[in-house]
């Protein structure tokens, strides 16, 4: 009895333990996240857990008693049937597999299934226990990974750049089509090879040095330019971007390299460099000056042309204000141009202004300018080509001077024609007056008052006749006497006569060249020219005194100078210069000095024919007269007369005393007493 009770107690204990075990199993079964299903051998569902209800959306009562195949997609059903057949045939199959279940709402659920046979105590299979884990997220991740890998593969294969992966020691493990095309080699010739054999020697040395520096702990850029060798032997410049592939411990186990063919870029850079070199050469060697100026007036760039034009070195001007080297007018013009550009207007691209040289002189220039703009189109400065137009300005001034001289010559010619006509008519009238007066004189006894009056009339007629002769001389219509004379003898004679009548305040300086040659005019005409010019100078020096300088020299008239004078021709000429340090003349007076009867003297001090006679005599002999004068700066007359061949006979020819200079009357007051002067 005691043994039976012990056995019963033990049995009860075992039953209790079994109950606890089954309860523990039940809790695990129900609480598992996976869907767990027990099946009969023919696939009928006998038990499910809550996980199966949640996974499929079917309540337990709607799943238990139904065939397992009802909850499989057709493809999964076929797969499980085939798997069961293989198990029954004794094949070894994995206990883990993937299938798709069907939810109550019709949607599919990918699961990872793990199944095993349920056996009785004798080991005979009596059912199946299958656990199903929802792998929807894993499938999504795998799909995303697959798509990512596909995109990577597509990018890898279709990239224009060459891409290669290498081991840590430089063995190529994979390449894309871009690298095949770049090197002209199929991947079979690349994979397994060292990258070193595709570098030029110089490029390989630079790359090995870069790797050495990296391993030494230096900071090395991942971007470098290298040179690879094409299968045909040509060199390909490449921009390489590399990054290390590391293991979980952070140790480098490989290299990924992206290689870009920069042949076209190198060509473009070379072309740009050549273009910049040509621009720099053009910029530096241009005959014109070139300058770049910011809107605030700062000089940012300049060429040697500007250094030459201004005398300033670029080190003295770069970074300095443009206003430092321009005139006030140039400052105003620059500011106005900038204002108009900022206002959206279009200032003229060509303009004229002036620069100030380092020595203070002014250089006129013609500027051709274009504004430099930023990306928004706002002007930030301008670049200007400056052309020195000093010669052009001088030519314009010379042209204006020639036009004025032409106008003056035509005016004098018109006045001469008028004066000639008047003089001839007056001379005819005067001849009649003189003839009848002489007849009347013969009829009147000497000593009578009437006889004396008639003689005074004759004297006045003779003076009037001399005046008419002077007018005809000016008009160049009277007969000119052409004698071959040596000018220095005549000039010496005039100066000797002149010296005695000058006040002590006037100093005469003479520079006479005796070897000038011969001129074809009478000694009296040359005396008259010099006497009138000296009279003009003496009048200017009379109040304050000064220097009267007379220079006689031989000169060669060039074509350029000859073109500026109406009568002058190139060749050897005599130049007679008469200058004084007197009061000078204003431009207005200077324009009219050769007009007959024009004078600035008071009434009764001169007729105004002296310089007109000089002009008439000189131009009548193929010469020219020039004059330079400024108020307070004195006056210089230069007479040019063509030289002629001669035998020197005039040196022994009789010399006439200097004729009276232009005077109001015939009174003998000295050779220069009545000279006309226009300096007051």
CB 365 within 8 A of CB 288: no
Give the model's pLDDT for residue 3.
47
Does pLDDT of 88 surpass 90? no
What is the average per-residue pLDDT within 70-95?
89
In this structure, of 1-10, 210-219, 617-626, the range with the lowest mean pLDDT score is 1-10
CB 131 within 8 A of CB 114: yes
Quote the percentage of the chain above a pLDDT of 90.
20
Give the model's pLDDT for residue 661.
44
Please state, in angstroms and rounded to a whole number, the distance separating the CA atoms of residues 341 and 370.
10
Report helix, strand and coil shares of the chain as percent, to nearest 5: 45, 25, 30
Does pLDDT of 476 surpass 60? no
**Phi and psi at residue 663, in whole multiples of 5°?**
-140, 170
Give the model's pLDDT for residue 473.
63
Please state, in angstroms and rounded to a whole number, the distance separating the CA atoms of residues 574 and 641.
5
pTM of the full structure: 0.41
Q: How far is CA 247 from the centre of its chain?
A: 57
Does pLDDT of 636 surpass 80? yes
Element of type H or E holding 558: none
Q: How many CB atoms lie within 10 A of CB 161?
A: 17
Give me 568's structure tokens: 């002058």
What is the average per-residue pLDDT within 339-349?
88
Query: Average pLDDT, whole number, for the chain?
Result: 82
pLDDT tens column, 368-386? 989 988 888 889 898 899 9
Q: Exposed e or buried b for every residue in 555-581, given b needs 16+ CB within 10 A?
A: eebeeebbeebbbbeeeebbbbbbbbb
Please state, in angstroms and rounded to a whole number, the distance separating the CA atoms of residues 496 and 493.
5
Does pLDDT of 552 surpass 80? yes
Q: Are strands 506-512 and 546-557 parallel, antiparallel or unpaired?
A: parallel
Q: How confident is the model at residue 79 (pLDDT cuts 50, 70, 90)?
A: very high
Give the model's pLDDT for residue 2.
47
What is the average per-residue pLDDT within 487-505?
83
Instruction: Tell me how far CA of residue 644 lies from CA of 86, 504, 621, 640, in angstroms.
Output: 142, 38, 11, 13
Does pLDDT of 542 surpass 70? yes
Q: Which residue has the higher pLDDT, 591 or 603?
A: 591
Does pLDDT of 365 surpass 50? yes
In this structure, of 78-87, 112-121, 604-613, 644-653, the range with the lowest mean pLDDT score is 644-653
What is the average per-residue pLDDT within 76-86?
90
């Amino acid at each position: 009895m005691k043994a039976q009770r012990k056995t019963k107690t033990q049995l009860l204990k075992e039953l209790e333990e079994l109950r606890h075990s089954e309860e523990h199993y039940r809790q695990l079964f129900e609480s598992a996240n996976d869907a767990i299903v027990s099946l009969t051998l023919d696939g009928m569902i006998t038990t499910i857990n809550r996980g199966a209800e949640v996974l499929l959306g079917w309540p337990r009562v709607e799943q238990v008693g139904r065939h397992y195949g009802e909850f499989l997609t057709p493809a999964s059903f076929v797969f499980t049937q085939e798997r069961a057949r293989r198990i029954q045939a004794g094949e070894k199959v994995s206990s883990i597999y993937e299938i798709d279940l069907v939810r109550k709402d019709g949607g599919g659920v990918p699961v990872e299934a793990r199944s095993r046979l349920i056996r009785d105590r004798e080991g005979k299979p009596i059912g199946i226990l299958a656990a199903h884990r929802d792998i929807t997220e894993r499938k999504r991740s795998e799909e995303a990974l697959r798509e990512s890998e596909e995109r990577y593969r597509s990018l890898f294969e279709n990239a224009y750049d060459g891409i290669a992966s290498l081991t840590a020691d430089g063995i190529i493990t994979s390449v894309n089509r871009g690298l095949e095309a770049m090197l002209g080699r199929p991947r079979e010739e690349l994979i397994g090879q060292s990258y070193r054999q595709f570098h030029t020697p110089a490029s390989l040395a630079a790359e090995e040095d870069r790797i050495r520096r990296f391993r030494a702990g230096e900071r090395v850029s991942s971007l470098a330019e290298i040179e690879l060798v094409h299968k045909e032997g040509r060199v390909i410049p490449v921009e390489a971007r590399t990054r290390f592939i590391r293991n979980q411990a952070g140790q480098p186990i490989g290299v990924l390299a992206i290689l870009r063919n920069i042949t076209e870029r190198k060509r473009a850079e070379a072309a740009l460099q050549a273009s910049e070199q040509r621009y720099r050469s053009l910029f530096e060697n241009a005959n014109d000056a070139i300058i770049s100026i910011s809107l605030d007036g700062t000089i940012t760039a300049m060429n040697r042309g500007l250094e030459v034009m201004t005398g300033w070195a670029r080190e003295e001007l770069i970074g300095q204000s443009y206003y430092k080297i321009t005139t006030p007018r140039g400052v105003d013009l620059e500011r106005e141009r900038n204002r108009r550009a900022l206002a959206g207007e279009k200032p003229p691209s060509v303009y004229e202004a002036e620069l100030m040289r380092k020595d203070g002189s002014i250089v006129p220039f013609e500027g051709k300018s274009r504004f430099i703009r930023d990306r928004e189109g706002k002007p930030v400065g301008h670049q200007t080509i400056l052309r020195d137009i000093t010669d052009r300005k001088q030519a314009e001034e010379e042209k204006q001077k020639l036009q004025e001289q032409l106008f003056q010559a035509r005016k004098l010619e018109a006045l001469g024609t008028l004066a000639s006509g008047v003089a001839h008519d007056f001379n005819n009238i005067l001849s009649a007056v003189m003839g009848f007066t002489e007849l009347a004189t013969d009829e009147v006894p000497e000593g009578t008052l009437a006889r004396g009056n008639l003689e005074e009339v004759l004297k006045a007629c003779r003076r009037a006749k001399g005046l008419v002769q002077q007018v005809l001389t000016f008009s160049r219509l009277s007969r000119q006497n052409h004698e071959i004379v040596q000018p220095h003898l005549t000039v010496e004679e005039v100066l000797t006569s002149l010296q005695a009548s000058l006040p002590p305040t006037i100093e005469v300086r003479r520079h006479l060249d005796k070897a000038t040659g011969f001129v074809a005019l009478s000694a009296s005409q040359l005396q008259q020219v010099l006497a009138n010019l000296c009279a003009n100078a003496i009048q200017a020096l009379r109040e304050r005194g000064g220097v009267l300088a007379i220079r006689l020299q031989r000169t060669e008239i060039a074509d350029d100078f000859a073109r500026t004078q109406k009568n002058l021709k190139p060749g050897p000429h005599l130049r007679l210069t008469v200058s004084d340090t007197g009061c000078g003349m204003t431009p207005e007076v200077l324009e009219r000095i050769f007009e007959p009867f024009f004078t600035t003297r008071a009434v009764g001090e001169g007729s105004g024919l002296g310089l007109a006679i000089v002009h008439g005599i000189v131009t009548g002999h193929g010469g020219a007269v020039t004059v330079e004068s400024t108020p307070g700066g004195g006056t210089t007359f230069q007479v040019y007369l063509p030289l002629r061949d001669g035998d020197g006979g005039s040196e022994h020819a009789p010399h006439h005393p200097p004729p009276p200079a232009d005077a109001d009357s015939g009174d003998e007051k000295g050779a220069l007493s009545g000279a006309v002067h226009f300096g007051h």
